Amino acid sequence: MEKLTFEEWISWIFNHEVVKPAWFYGINAPFYELNHDLSVQYVTRLFQEAGEKLSVFSDEQVNQGLYFLIDPGASGIICQAVVNDVELNKVRELIFTINNIYSNIFFKRCTPYLSHLNESGVGALNPVCYMWWDVSAFGSLGRNTNSEESILEACLETMRKILELPHDACRESALHGLGHLVRMNRKKTLCQHLIAEFLRNNYLRQELRDYAKAAQNGTAQ
């Protein structure tokens, strides 16, 4: 098991040419297996310092690298940490720092268009923003019932704060996540309450309002 420095770890994840399929699906793709505690430490620090650390990479590279981090079908770095032996409070701290990704990366670098409608202005970083809570499946992870409930509560609090951001792509992302939880009947009443509070905003564009209502009844895609 090779221990990468924090800067080396960032380069390993983000400093790649953007190709399809992504670099991490390549047969000879470099892979480093860090212990779960160090992985959570690095991810948390990255999210805290995202505005600075990711500024040197293109939107396409950031989109690709974040998918690598959150998608269980890519690296599974975050998911493995959540379901294994990392202290629960550290996992919750990681989840709360996701707000920094939204406020310092997605809010500033995503275009304010809706991915579920495939609007023509959707930018290169919007896909991972839109799919964040769907792909990562944070709310479905836990070592036991108590830890899963605690992790899910942290996710919901994070999504609540994201809904407050005046950016349609960010708000669409949180609604996407809440809609999945409603459909799975997981904290359904609380999710619907969060969406109802969001709908009190009188200045929402109609397309986003319609999406919020679909999320509220579990039919949003």
User: According to the model, what pLDDT value does residue 168 have?
Assistant: 98
Q: In sequence order, what E strands does 86-180 have?
A: none
d(CA 189, CA 101): 27
Q: Nearest to residue 47, comparing CAs of 107, 95, 108?
A: 95
Band of residue 1 on the pLDDT scale cut at 50, 70, 90: very low
- CB of 169 closer than 8 Å to CB of 135: no
DSSP state at residue 105? I
Distance CA 122, CA 220 (A): 18
Mean of the per-residue pLDDT values of the chain: 91
Nearest to 99 by CA among 172, 44, 42, 175: 44
Instruction: Name the pTM for this structure.
Output: 0.94
What pLDDT was estimated at residue 6?
A: 95
Q: What's the average model confidence in pLDDT over 70-86?
A: 76
Give me the pLDDT at residue 81, please: 65
- Mean pLDDT score, 143-172: 89
